[in-house]
Structure 1
Amino acid sequence: MLSRFYSYLTLRDLKYEMRGLSNYQLSCCVNTLLQTLSATWELSELLERWDSAGVKADSHNVPLELKKVLSAMKSDHRHSTPHQDFLYCLDRNSFRLCVQHDADEVFLSILNFMQQQMDDRALALDIQNLYKVSVETRLQCLECSCIQTQTSFQLSLHLHVKEDQDSLEGCISSFLEDQELSGRDSCFCAQCERKTPSKRDVKLLSLPRILCMQLKRYRSSRGGIRKLDCRVTFPETFDFSELARGGFSRDFAQDEYTYTLYAVVVHSGGTMGGHYTAYVRPGGNQQWYYADDISVEKVSWERVQGTYGKYYGGTAYMLMYRRSSKEEGRQPEFSG
């Protein structure tokens, strides 16, 4: 199956055409995420391996409808992809049409629906592991020195953005910095049997093939929620080990840290409404594309950098990077 998938991509390297998605009832958020998921060839390959013949076609199964729409987006027809069935499927799973949604919330929900609704548990786990960031959190009570350790995982890293100017590298470093939690942020200490000031540190246990990061551009204020359009730079390629010195657990066993950007989810507008678009680099293609619902065009890396923020209408909200690996170097190459 995988070799046939490569052959298909290789034959189309010079005539690759992304397909637009019509906006149905405020579906720009879902349209944007579908473009990024279509560019995640690893996810498409896993869904193609799923034998969904026995799944009841009741329009409630999100992974089944996702498999269909991602396949349709790779067809040869040069028209917009019909994806109403996928939208209606989300609607039946409580993500209502005609309602503004947060892109990160919808993205995580789609991944969770695949865990809940796929009958092939091994493949569902493979999809989860594709995005899974394992972290170890240690809480030390500052009154009794009791230490609590918790291991958990995230499907996307939520990175705090400073209010003036920042960089992805700075956001990751801040995520891994030790923090003192006091006042409202105090944590329950089992030994003291009450909430006490604590020191928290986070260590990485493993990094995924697909690293999705949300730039947290929203802040609570006395007047409600406000959006930060400050400048946040991000590279096309970076080495995680250079950014996270001291941020890895002693049990961290990976030896590949290099990540390459392939998708940027962009939000234009404010807290009460707005519009989502995406910049994507499909498969192994070196060419960037800009997808705005039905409209798709080729763009330069400099155009993608316009989403850093502050002086442009749309700002980067989610970043998706693919890890390079000698052992997993199965990604096909395009001449672009």
Structure 2
Amino acid sequence: MAAKRICLFFSRVSGGTAGIRGLTNYCLSCCVNTLLQTFSATWELVDLLESWDSAHVSPNGSNIALEMKKFLVAHQSERPISHTGILHCLDRNGVQLHTQHDADEVFFFILNLIQSQMDDKILVEKIRSLYKLSVQTHVQCLKCSSVQTKDSFLLSLPLHIKEDNTSLKDCLTSFFEDHELSGLNCCFCPQCEVKTPSKQGVRLLTLPPILCVQLKRYRNNDGYTRKLGYRVTFPETFDFLTTADQAFSKDFAQTNCQYSLYAVVVHSGSAGCGHYTTYVRHKASGSWYYADDSDTDEVTWSEVQKSYGGPRRPTAYMLMYRKE
């Protein structure tokens, strides 16, 4: 993650359509840079932060919600921007500069900080609702067939990938399959009043406007973390109802489950050392752009597909889909 020269600019493509602006690599900030590009492409979040009345918030550089609002609003305009305020704010809150970070962890850290540091709880709930998947976990006793359920929510779908070539559809199917719990994993059954073998599964109650998918490419074996670079294909658009029809609870009532991809966070390198870049889709033109810190280029969908992965290739790590 070598630092790059400072180059904040507003790119232009043919016909005068505005592209996206690059962000300099400041103190190993490529992880945060990619997330800022992703958040900027989530215009629903930008609109909510812009509507927040933050005039009374102290500008002491410690409130990430305020720093994100200032940056994201400026990033939509043509005036000069700097993201060092966010980087130093994250540093004050525990995401240290000069350190390599995991994009998925920083993504949720930023969302949690926004929600804890904003005083407008109605807006906080609206921001949470952008990403919120309501789910129901069920555990069925294999002795008496009684079922226990618990409702909760996720802010992303953490999908394990197989150690082989696979697809997003396969990962979703695996995530929503029932799994048997036996031996040390047996659960207590209130009906039987003892721990019994059971099967456990997750079903969807609601789907969010923004669907964040994390492809879990890391495995920990005997204290050693390794990255799985296997190929995982994913579509530009998909219908959740037909892609993972076994994923829904009987109480699921939504009819529009069509999603379009608008950002891909990409990781190159190994588990211990690497570099983050991102593909984002422009709101106005619909064109894809590739952002590698301060460098940005307009690309085609076939270029985005190179992040499927494979031996010694960059790999998609987070997928951001928007409900159509």
- 1:29-108 equivalences under 5 Å are 29-77=31-79, 81-108=81-108
TM-superposed CA distance for 1:121, in Å, is: 0.5
Q: 1:28 aligns with which of 21, 27, 30?
A: 30
Counterpart of 1:135 in 2: which secondary structure? strand
CA 1:27 to 1:191, structure 2 compared with 1: closer, same or farther past 3 Å?
farther
Counterpart of 2:180 in 1: which secondary structure? strand
Asked if structure 2 preserves the Cα contact closer than 8 Å seen for 1:38 and 1:282, the reply is no
Moved more, 91-100 or 37-46: 91-100
Q: Distance in 2 between matches of 1:103 and 1:250?
A: 34
TM-score w.r.t. length of structure 1: 0.88
- Kindly provide the CA deviation profile for residues 50-105 of structure 1, in whole angstroms up to 9, marking residues without a partner as x: 1111112121111110011112212214x6x3111101111111111122211111
Structure 1 residue identity aligned to 2:74: A
Counterpart of 1:271 in 2: which secondary structure? coil
Q: Distance in 2 between matches of 1:39 and 1:83?
A: 16
CA 1:195 to 1:100, structure 2 compared with 1: closer, same or farther past 3 Å?
farther
Asked if structure 1 preserves the Cα contact closer than 8 Å seen for 2:17 and 2:285, the reply is no
Counterpart of 2:65 in 1: which secondary structure? helix
Q: Distance in 2 between matches of 1:86 and 1:65?
A: 6
**What is the percentage of aligned positions where both structures have the same residue?**
58
Q: Distance in 1 between matches of 2:312 and 2:225?
A: 21
TM-superposed CA distance for 1:192, in Å, is: 5.5
TM-superposed CA distance for 1:223, in Å, is: 6.4
Counterpart of 2:247 in 1: which secondary structure? coil
Asked if structure 1 preserves the Cα contact closer than 8 Å seen for 2:289 and 2:298, the reply is yes
- Kindly provide the CA deviation profile for residues 5-26 of structure 1, in whole angstroms up to 9, marking residues without a partner as x: xxxxxxx994212111111111
Show the counterpart of 2:8.
Answer: none
Q: Distance in 2 between matches of 1:102 and 1:170?
A: 24
Asked if structure 2 preserves the Cα contact closer than 8 Å seen for 1:131 and 1:208, the reply is yes
- Kindly provide the CA deviation profile for residues 87-144 of structure 1, in whole angstroms up to 9, marking residues without a partner as x: 1111111111122211111111111112111111001100000000110000123345
Show the counterpart of 2:118.
Answer: 118
Asked if structure 2 preserves the Cα contact closer than 8 Å seen for 1:30 and 1:106, the reply is yes
CA 1:123 to 1:267, structure 2 compared with 1: closer, same or farther past 3 Å?
same
CA 1:192 to 1:102, structure 2 compared with 1: closer, same or farther past 3 Å?
farther
Moved more, 241-250 or 82-91: 241-250
Q: Distance in 2 between matches of 1:193 and 1:92?
A: 49
CA 1:128 to 1:57, structure 2 compared with 1: closer, same or farther past 3 Å?
same
CA 1:75 to 1:225, structure 2 compared with 1: closer, same or farther past 3 Å?
same
TM-superposed CA distance for 1:220, in Å, is: 2.0
Asked if structure 1 preserves the Cα contact closer than 8 Å seen for 2:215 and 2:318, the reply is yes
- 1:156-171 equivalences under 5 Å are 156-171=156-171
Structure 2 residue identity aligned to 1:98: H
Asked if structure 2 preserves the Cα contact closer than 8 Å seen for 1:158 and 1:214, the reply is yes
What residue ranges of structure 1 are gaps of 5+ in the alignment? 1-11, 325-336
Show the counterpart of 2:208.
Answer: 208
Structure 2 residue identity aligned to 1:60: S
Q: Distance in 2 between matches of 1:268 and 1:194?
A: 48
- 1:319-330 equivalences under 5 Å are 319-324=319-324
Asked if structure 1 preserves the Cα contact closer than 8 Å seen for 2:261 and 2:321, the reply is yes
Q: Distance in 2 between matches of 1:31 and 1:193?
A: 52
Q: Distance in 2 between matches of 1:38 and 1:13?
A: 23
Asked if structure 2 preserves the Cα contact closer than 8 Å seen for 1:40 and 1:282, the reply is no
- Kindly provide the CA deviation profile for residues 134-163 of structure 1, in whole angstroms up to 9, marking residues without a partner as x: 100001233454422111111110001011
Q: Distance in 1 between matches of 2:312 and 2:285?
A: 26
Structure 1 residue identity aligned to 2:30: C
TM-superposed CA distance for 1:275, in Å, is: 0.5
Q: Distance in 2 between matches of 1:211 and 1:13?
A: 32
Q: Distance in 2 between matches of 1:13 and 1:183?
A: 65
TM-superposed CA distance for 1:291, in Å, is: 0.4
CA 1:255 to 1:148, structure 2 compared with 1: closer, same or farther past 3 Å?
same
| Aligned length in residues | 311
CA 1:101 to 1:183, structure 2 compared with 1: closer, same or farther past 3 Å?
farther
What residue ranges of structure 2 are gaps of 5+ in the alignment? 1-13
Q: Distance in 1 between matches of 2:196 and 2:90?
A: 42
Asked if structure 2 preserves the Cα contact closer than 8 Å seen for 1:40 and 1:283, the reply is no
Show the counterpart of 2:17.
Answer: 15
Show the counterpart of 2:229.
Answer: 229
Q: Distance in 2 between matches of 1:194 and 1:293?
A: 56
TM-superposed CA distance for 1:312, in Å, is: 5.2
